[in-house]
Structure 1
Amino acid sequence: MSDWVMSDELSITQQPNESLYKINFDGAIFEDQACAGLDVVIRDSAGLIIGALSQKIKLPSSLVMVEVLAASQAISFVREISILRVVVEGNSLQVIKAINNTKSSKTSYGHIIDEIKLLSSSLPCCSFVHVRHEGNKLAHVLVRRAILFADIDVWLEDLPRDLDDVFQFDLL
């Protein structure tokens, strides 16, 4: 398997060690439907799917807000299924920087950033890293399902069959 994308600048480092899980989140806006999609993909150190979530929500005020809500959903989801040692990846540099900033965010979504920081601080090991769009491919494809299906879909240890090709490509 190739290296996992996990860096703020270079976008390439090594895959996490066996005790860490990789979490990818993404968000997308569907203006014509007046909604947005949130997505979370959880993988183990071998790259196998532990869980995934796709959710349709009312259209927030901005794309950044969608990404913040996706990051929040990622932390909530990992806590719900008791995964405690994580590397959380997202392709919104603005969101990752806000989460990693030690100061409180003064933005319209600052309260959500603060909640993410609080929830993630209860995990024994949690870090947030920026990944380029190419390193977040499965999450990006999965979020597109939100507009087509139920308000929220959750998969454990599996993905919908129509995503097999994207998943297999990611494993290569």
Structure 2
Amino acid sequence: MVRPRARWTVPLGEIYKINFDGAVFIDEDRAGIGVIIQDSQCMVMASISHNIPLPISVVELETLTVAKALEFSIDLGFVSAILEGDLEIIMKALMDDSPSLASFGLLIRDVKTYAEQFQCISFSNVGREAFAPQDESNC
């Protein structure tokens, strides 16, 4: 059975979409994190990027990135959001109510603590292809 590919969708009402991603630059022994927050009109409300020391794993990088995304959103006063990421293992861990025993479990706990500060938050896993515009009318 072939699953349909997820596609970026416009958030409804006063809910903002928070997209995050990490990038590894092995030659430079560093990583980058990026966050963008958009409203229901596809307008960029805020964005941030940082260089950080190279973490142990890609999963750790993505978990650090989602923590920064939520911290940044809270600092700016966003209280309702859809958090979108492309690494399924992270998104599943965030949606699981039980404590994570994975190597990145403590980072997941930190992220969940940030998430508790939102009035409304949901987690969405989208494939990397979902961020590519399909036509000119997409955000």
TM-score with structure 1 setting the length: 0.73
Q: Where in structure 2 are the equivalents of 1:79-98 lying within 5 Å?
A: 79-98=74-93
Structure 1 residue 119: deviation in Å? 1.3
1:20 corresponding residue in structure 2? 15
TM-score with structure 2 setting the length: 0.89
Q: Where in structure 2 are the equivalents of 1:57-136 lying within 5 Å?
A: 57-136=52-131
Secondary structure at the residue paired with 1:19? coil
Matches of 1:170 and 1:105, distance apart in 2: 40
Structure 1 residue 135: deviation in Å? 2.4
Amino acid at match of 1:111: L
User: Percent identity among equivalent residues?
Assistant: 30
Instruction: Check conservation: 2:7, 2:131, Cα contact below 8 A.
Output: no
Matches of 1:104 and 1:136, distance apart in 2: 30
Structure 1 residue 78: deviation in Å? 0.4
Relative distance call for 1:120 and 1:170 in structure 2 (3 A) is: farther
* Count of residue pairs brought into register by the alignment: 136
Unaligned runs of 5+ in 2: none
Unaligned runs of 5+ in 1: 1-7, 138-165
Instruction: Check conservation: 2:20, 2:34, Cα contact below 8 A.
Output: yes
- Deviation string, structure 1 residues 99-142 (Cα, Å, up to 9, x no partner): 111111112211110111111112100111101112235xxxxx
Question: Aligned-pair RMSD on alpha carbons?
Answer: 2.2
Relative distance call for 1:31 and 1:13 in structure 2 (3 A) is: closer
Matches of 2:38 and 2:81, distance apart in 1: 10
Relative distance call for 1:61 and 1:170 in structure 2 (3 A) is: farther
